[in-house]
Structure 1
Amino acid sequence: MCGIGGFFQINNRFDLNKISGFFKEGLIHRGPDVQDHWVSEDGNILIAHTRLSILDLSVSANQPMKTEDGKIVLTFNGEIYNYAEIKKELCNLNKYNWFTHHSDTEVILHAYEEWGIECISRFRGIFAIGIWDQNKETLYVVRDRFGVKPVYYISKPDHFGFASELKPFFKINNTLKLNKNGVIEYLTSRGSIAPNTMIEDIFKLDKGHYITIKKNKLNNNFETKFTKYYDLNNNLPLSSFDFTNKTRILEDLEEQIITSIKYRWISDTPVCLFLSGGIDSSLIAAISSKLFKEKVHAFTVGLPGNINDETSYAKMVAEQYNLDIHILNFSQNPLNDLNEWLYVNDDLLSDPAAFAIFHLSKEIRNKGFKVVLSGEGSDEIFAGYDSYLQYYSNSKRYKNNRLLKNIFYHLYSVHCKRNIESYYEKNTGNKVYFGAAHLQTMLSLKNLFTDKKALDNYFLWNQQFFEKRQNDHSIDYALKYDLEFRIPNDLLLRTDRATMAYGVEARVPFLDHKLVEYAMSIPYFYKTGKNFDTTKLILKELALKYFKPEFVYRPKQGFPIPVNQWLLDENVISEFDNYIGERKIDCLNYDYIRKIYQRHKSKKDNYADRLFNIYLLEKYIRFWGIS
């Protein structure tokens, strides 16, 4: 929907009108329709906004938005899908004057007046919010339950800033230094994990959290408090549904998905769909076409000549449900011109699918759409990856083998021998689960990353998460891990950056919090089968209501991005060779990188994903001038 920003300082150290320019310049692509800001009379508070007009297109719905007395100022990115129900509840109180027709921003404003910051628990939607309350002399910064909308912040004793992206902070602090903890996470998981970013002293607000910032008048410094207002585990399992009857589960599941899609179709501008031809996006398309009278537009990426190209399946869905399908063939090598992509992806991410979404989003905006529905989250709540089944198998073997347990607990020592690590990995896989799309094993990460202390801390951090969830079944544990880390720090980030680069808002029906709570309450064997030999079983059985069995039960292909082909481009090879020779990143083992790169070029092994990850990191530090 928008770009948001704010700055809170003590003693007028910074020129807030100048900083407001940093916010406008760095976030205008997120909100190309209107840019505005508000500065307090004392010059210590700035609230900024760049608007993408989607709901209530009138001038009165512009932001920052203030209460009538000007004491509360709001900047908001996202959508509150149940705003009409909340507004009705507020109207029944007869306490508030309404100056917009149907702005969800104004609903947030009055909801805060009525219920305080606890109002966010009533919201069903995607949101990043900044609220300045003059009465309390307090700033609140909020991120939604699953991290659909990003929030970054800087925090010092005499100033605090927040924004939808990092770029405004790059202007405020001209000296950028690589964050080693973020780099470890990036090398393993494709992106840094909250609260880390790739840059030291710039942080990512974790999903389901809000920050309270107020001035301590005794020492004239800021106090910041972090509150976790939503925890999925505290909402599981749901007790109001019957999870013993599969027929009832299918009925309730369909109702949850339909409700979620209805909410996400609320807009004053046209809505369209991403359609890959897979089960998730195809189900959204089928249900949408049945729910709404207008013709549904669907956008698909084609990969000409790729044996795994799924456009034929997307065409089948379009023909069956009378969709207007737009196919964008993606054949060029994006690595030959990365400047525009690197500018948008200031919190670096190496998910190859981001490039396809990036180019598709440009086409969507060119066709006049500002809202697109996407299928992210389905695999993580319905067990859609083979890696979940493999993790179950490995965990079962590990659980029954005392020797392997002992080996595992010695893995954290930087002096442990490679043969023990290798034996562990061959026989158990990573008990410290790195996620469905992890790039590195423990052994390869230790070969690649030279800061062993930071590396051991990263392994221990993973283990600590496991110990908190060790009573979960291994399938449920793996799903929760990816919901906790992969969803907000990879899948949702790639979609947000790619779509908002062109002023398009992505909405994700499968990550409606009511639907997630329902899906995560479904027993795991309805997702994997009792023999743990299938993926996404319950969703596939629901899909049979809309598609033929041969469509539903075909093998999962994923998105076949030709990363290996990109890396073997002559220009890329020459550039990568120079980067390895320059050795700019002191925590990387360039001898190891050169070794796997040579094996990859000679086609003895395939290290495409790992090398792509490293190559983008090298490009990133040069583009932004990071030391």
Structure 2
Amino acid sequence: MCGIVGIFDTRGTREIDRALLSRMNETQHHRGPDEADLYIEPGVGFGHRRLSVIDVAAGLQPLGNEDGSVMVCYNGEIYNYRELTEELKGLGHTFRTRCDTEVIVHAWEEWGEECVHRFRGMFAFGLWDRNQQVMFLGRDRMGVKPLYYAMLPDGFFAFSSELKALRTLPQLNREIDPQAVEDYFAYGYVPEPKTIFKGALKLSPGFTLLQKVGAPQAVPKQFWDVPFKLHGAMSEQDAQEELLTRIREAVKIRLVAEVPLGAFLSGGVDSSAVVAMMAGLNEGPVHTCSIAFNDKAYDESEYASMVAAQYKTDHYTETVDTDDYGLIDTLAHLYDEPFADSSAIPTYRVCQLARKRVTVALSGDGGDENLAGYRRYRYAMAEQNVRGRIPLSLRKPVFGTLGRLYPKADWAPRVFRAKTTFEALARDTVEGYFHGVTVMSDAMRDKLFSPGFRAGLQGYRAIDVMRGHAAKSPTDDPLSLIQYIDMKTYLPGDILTKVDRASMAHALEVRVPLLDHQLVEWISGLPSDMKLRGSEGKYVFKKSLEAHLPHDILYRKKMGFSVPLAAWFRGPLAQRVRDALLGPLLADTGIFNKAFLHELVEHHQSGRRDYSASIWTVLMFEAFLRKEMAA
């Protein structure tokens, strides 16, 4: 796993500033502490920080073909590189290393832009072809590995693994994008392809970009999408057996490494399934790790220990204080743009723990999106069942009126929180889902933002992100549609971003077998009732695992990583919240309605309302701004 940077002159062969390229590269030292190198020729410069995992001795990058006319810098793992190596050798290509990087070079020579279709794995790369005078970028199908880029005013094009590397460029437009702010306060992250800055973009998952010398700025091109094409008739038993076979194979190809390898084990279904498959494939015991919390309300370690004991893993647990709020400023530095998933704190700690024992760890990420494991899917389908019985023309006025009149009751049990349900029923599928997953609702954001900032959005709303993906969805099945939307937004923008930055902060490579693209394609073809049956998410997955995992692992209530935000903001972080939300930094941006920020703080700290999620979102935005001003 690595960090990559590049600078490319789209106008010709101007000299690349070596010192600037080196500074860009060193901002990502944490991603690859083992080795570093630069490659510069007229008009092109690559930088690479290496975490050695495969072909430790000879895999230094940037790496080229025999005559140096094609050069690549790459971050990731291509798991079918051995098969591709043999195929390319048969086509006359000569290999000098045993690493997967060289496959990209020769695959480009053989298949051009279509080479990405041949790669199975997680990857982000930049490739320069001197003969064709093109720069080619590619990002893996699910967005496991990040890739940022920017076209600068002087015609230089730059890319990097993390936004912090682009921020070193003097010409980068670091003006904050108002639409990205609107998105952030709705989703808790800035969804692809935007970044928080007007001058930089993310290359979306499953896209490539081909930039030619002398050509206008290129438009990214999609090379893959989740098909959601139903399989033919298949019994439930056959589906269970094939699912496990495919998961086992996806795990197996991710066990190749020349460094210590293990797995996260949270005690949830997904990580437990991955460990169960690894145990059947490893010669020795699987190395597993988990974190325990000193507050039992947040602790799942006993379930992790149960799986570890069943499979006789080499298991390591470390207890973390639930009052682990000292990482706020660290997170602002890691993520480079506002990021409001508070589970980034325990994720950071579990990666820190894993790195003490291994260099590569397998995770269970992706199971919820693939197999409808989130509770919100269940709620969304319950609402959809009502929508299906009543036409929108009747639902909108009736439930819309009830939603406006019914009092808000966040403090009450969910069954009594009818206001949210009424509001959702007045909407279509996409609006209802958006309404259910937003960190701050439309109504709250309207109060949060100043009149001037709202006017500057010119009618743009964060739901436009989901609407754009829904319009391109290959399926109109309601459950598959919202899974598809999550795979385009929440999965890459939140989950995978969180894990990438937290793991690479500790030079730990994380592999995600449940997001193997061939597995994702196959699972997408299962009927929805095999994923969500009644109130049981991951139905076929859990049934297939009954012979492999205890009932309490499979069917207990889902917990997930969480931290006690509400208590923090009324206790040890009370003053920091007041200083941040009511201080001059946010006030001077012109973005916020100061009266509403005051309401958030006073109502939460008095115990009248639980505004912890909203306060955390604003707090992380303020931490980002402070970091920006200090840069």
TM over 0.5: yes
- In the other structure, the counterpart of 1:45 is 44
- The one-character-per-residue Cα deviations of 1:63-99 (angstroms, maximum 9, x if unpaired) are 0001111100000100000111111111222x12221
1:619 paired to 2:623: yes
Q: After TM superposition, give the deviation of residue 15 of structure 1 in Å.
A: 4.7
Instruction: Choose the corresponding residue for 1:71, options 44, 69, 79.
Output: 69
Aligned residues: CA RMSD: 2.6
- The one-character-per-residue Cα deviations of 1:105-147 (angstroms, maximum 9, x if unpaired) are 1111111111112111011100001000001100011110010
1:180 paired to 2:172: no
What SS does the aligned partner of 1:232 have?
Answer: coil
2:265–2:271 CA contact under 8 A, matched in 1? yes
C-alpha distance in 2, partners of 1:92/1:309?
A: 53
1:197 paired to 2:199: no
Name the amino acid aligned to 2:343: A
Instruction: Choose the corresponding residue for 2:505, options 501, 507, 523.
Output: 501
- In the other structure, the counterpart of 2:110 is 114
- In the other structure, the counterpart of 1:414 is none
1:148 paired to 2:144: yes
- In the other structure, the counterpart of 2:370 is 381
Q: After TM superposition, give the deviation of residue 347 of structure 1 in Å.
A: 3.1
Quickly say closer, same or farther: Cα 1:91–1:199, change in 2 above 3 A. same
Q: After TM superposition, give the deviation of residue 222 of structure 1 in Å.
A: 4.2
Quickly say closer, same or farther: Cα 1:398–1:467, change in 2 above 3 A. farther
Q: After TM superposition, give the deviation of residue 385 of structure 1 in Å.
A: 1.3
- Please, what TM-score do these two structures have when normalized by structure 1? 0.91
Name the amino acid aligned to 2:443: L
What SS does the aligned partner of 1:223 have?
Answer: coil
Q: After TM superposition, give the deviation of residue 408 of structure 1 in Å.
A: 11
Instruction: Choose the corresponding residue for 2:81, options 83, 88, 91.
Output: 83
C-alpha distance in 1, partners of 2:387/2:460?
A: 21
Name the amino acid aligned to 1:385: Y
Quickly say closer, same or farther: Cα 1:181–1:249, change in 2 above 3 A. same
Q: After TM superposition, give the deviation of residue 556 of structure 1 in Å.
A: 1.4
Quickly say closer, same or farther: Cα 1:125–1:287, change in 2 above 3 A. same
What SS does the aligned partner of 2:219 have?
Answer: strand
Quickly say closer, same or farther: Cα 1:45–1:407, change in 2 above 3 A. farther
Unaligned runs of 5+ residues in structure 1 are 412-416
1:394–1:428 CA contact under 8 A, matched in 2? no
Name the amino acid aligned to 2:335: N
Quickly say closer, same or farther: Cα 1:436–1:163, change in 2 above 3 A. farther
C-alpha distance in 1, partners of 2:324/2:588?
A: 23
C-alpha distance in 1, partners of 2:349/2:327?
A: 13
C-alpha distance in 2, partners of 1:211/1:309?
A: 44
Identify the range of structure 1 (28-37 vs 322-331) with the bigger mean alpha-carbon deviation.
322-331
C-alpha distance in 2, partners of 1:291/1:617?
A: 44
Q: After TM superposition, give the deviation of residue 248 of structure 1 in Å.
A: 0.5
Q: After TM superposition, give the deviation of residue 356 of structure 1 in Å.
A: 1.1
Quickly say closer, same or farther: Cα 1:342–1:461, change in 2 above 3 A. closer
What SS does the aligned partner of 1:18 have?
Answer: helix
1:131–1:140 CA contact under 8 A, matched in 2? yes
C-alpha distance in 2, partners of 1:147/1:439?
A: 22
- In the other structure, the counterpart of 2:483 is 479
Q: After TM superposition, give the deviation of residue 468 of structure 1 in Å.
A: 4.4
- In the other structure, the counterpart of 1:447 is 447
What SS does the aligned partner of 1:75 have?
Answer: strand
Name the amino acid aligned to 1:33: D
Identify the range of structure 1 (568-577 vs 199-208) with the bigger mean alpha-carbon deviation.
568-577
- In the other structure, the counterpart of 1:306 is 296
Quickly say closer, same or farther: Cα 1:209–1:626, change in 2 above 3 A. farther
1:237 paired to 2:229: yes
Quickly say closer, same or farther: Cα 1:130–1:31, change in 2 above 3 A. same
- In the other structure, the counterpart of 2:244 is 254
- The one-character-per-residue Cα deviations of 1:51-70 (angstroms, maximum 9, x if unpaired) are 11001111x31100011111
- Pairwise mapping of residues 277-356 of structure 1 onto structure 2 (< 5 A)? 277-331=267-321, 333-356=323-346
Q: After TM superposition, give the deviation of residue 334 of structure 1 in Å.
A: 4.1
Name the amino acid aligned to 1:449: F
Name the amino acid aligned to 1:7: I
- The one-character-per-residue Cα deviations of 1:261-303 (angstroms, maximum 9, x if unpaired) are 0011111111111111011101111111111112111111111
Name the amino acid aligned to 2:264: F
Quickly say closer, same or farther: Cα 1:586–1:470, change in 2 above 3 A. farther
What SS does the aligned partner of 1:39 have?
Answer: strand
Quickly say closer, same or farther: Cα 1:444–1:65, change in 2 above 3 A. same
C-alpha distance in 1, partners of 2:406/2:574?
A: 36
Quickly say closer, same or farther: Cα 1:442–1:409, change in 2 above 3 A. farther
- In the other structure, the counterpart of 1:162 is 159
Q: After TM superposition, give the deviation of residue 345 of structure 1 in Å.
A: 1.5
Quickly say closer, same or farther: Cα 1:279–1:205, change in 2 above 3 A. same
Q: After TM superposition, give the deviation of residue 208 of structure 1 in Å.
A: 0.5
1:382–1:519 CA contact under 8 A, matched in 2? yes
Name the amino acid aligned to 1:391: A
2:400–2:422 CA contact under 8 A, matched in 1? no
C-alpha distance in 1, partners of 2:611/2:582?
A: 16
2:12–2:213 CA contact under 8 A, matched in 1? no
- In the other structure, the counterpart of 1:588 is 592
Q: After TM superposition, give the deviation of residue 470 of structure 1 in Å.
A: 9.4
C-alpha distance in 2, partners of 1:418/1:466?
A: 27
- In the other structure, the counterpart of 2:55 is 56
Q: After TM superposition, give the deviation of residue 619 of structure 1 in Å.
A: 0.9
- The one-character-per-residue Cα deviations of 1:1-45 (angstroms, maximum 9, x if unpaired) are 0001111124677752022222222111101111111111x2x21
Quote the sequence identity (%). Answer: 29
Instruction: Choose the corresponding residue for 2:393, options 399, 403, 422.
Output: 403
2:293–2:322 CA contact under 8 A, matched in 1? no
1:238–1:521 CA contact under 8 A, matched in 2? yes
Quickly say closer, same or farther: Cα 1:574–1:291, change in 2 above 3 A. closer
The alignment covers a number of residue pairs equal to 606
What SS does the aligned partner of 1:212 have?
Answer: strand
Name the amino acid aligned to 2:28: L
- In the other structure, the counterpart of 1:610 is 614
Instruction: Choose the corresponding residue for 1:512, options 512, 516, 519.
Output: 516
C-alpha distance in 2, partners of 1:265/1:20?
A: 34
Quickly say closer, same or farther: Cα 1:500–1:549, change in 2 above 3 A. same
- The one-character-per-residue Cα deviations of 1:375-396 (angstroms, maximum 9, x if unpaired) are 1110011110121121112223
Q: After TM superposition, give the deviation of residue 578 of structure 1 in Å.
A: 4.6
Quickly say closer, same or farther: Cα 1:110–1:153, change in 2 above 3 A. same
Q: After TM superposition, give the deviation of residue 609 of structure 1 in Å.
A: 1.4
Quickly say closer, same or farther: Cα 1:34–1:243, change in 2 above 3 A. farther
2:190–2:196 CA contact under 8 A, matched in 1? yes
What SS does the aligned partner of 1:195 have?
Answer: coil
C-alpha distance in 1, partners of 2:589/2:246?
A: 48
- In the other structure, the counterpart of 2:411 is none
1:37–1:64 CA contact under 8 A, matched in 2? yes
What SS does the aligned partner of 1:184 have?
Answer: helix
Identify the range of structure 1 (391-400 vs 306-315) with the bigger mean alpha-carbon deviation.
391-400
- In the other structure, the counterpart of 1:492 is 496
What SS does the aligned partner of 2:218 have?
Answer: strand
- Please, what TM-score do these two structures have when normalized by structure 2? 0.90
Quickly say closer, same or farther: Cα 1:384–1:26, change in 2 above 3 A. same
Q: After TM superposition, give the deviation of residue 366 of structure 1 in Å.
A: 2.6
Name the amino acid aligned to 2:158: G
C-alpha distance in 2, partners of 1:435/1:477?
A: 15
2:604–2:610 CA contact under 8 A, matched in 1? yes
C-alpha distance in 1, partners of 2:407/2:137?
A: 43
1:7 paired to 2:7: yes
C-alpha distance in 1, partners of 2:474/2:25?
A: 46
Q: After TM superposition, give the deviation of residue 436 of structure 1 in Å.
A: 7.2
What SS does the aligned partner of 1:372 have?
Answer: strand
- In the other structure, the counterpart of 2:414 is none
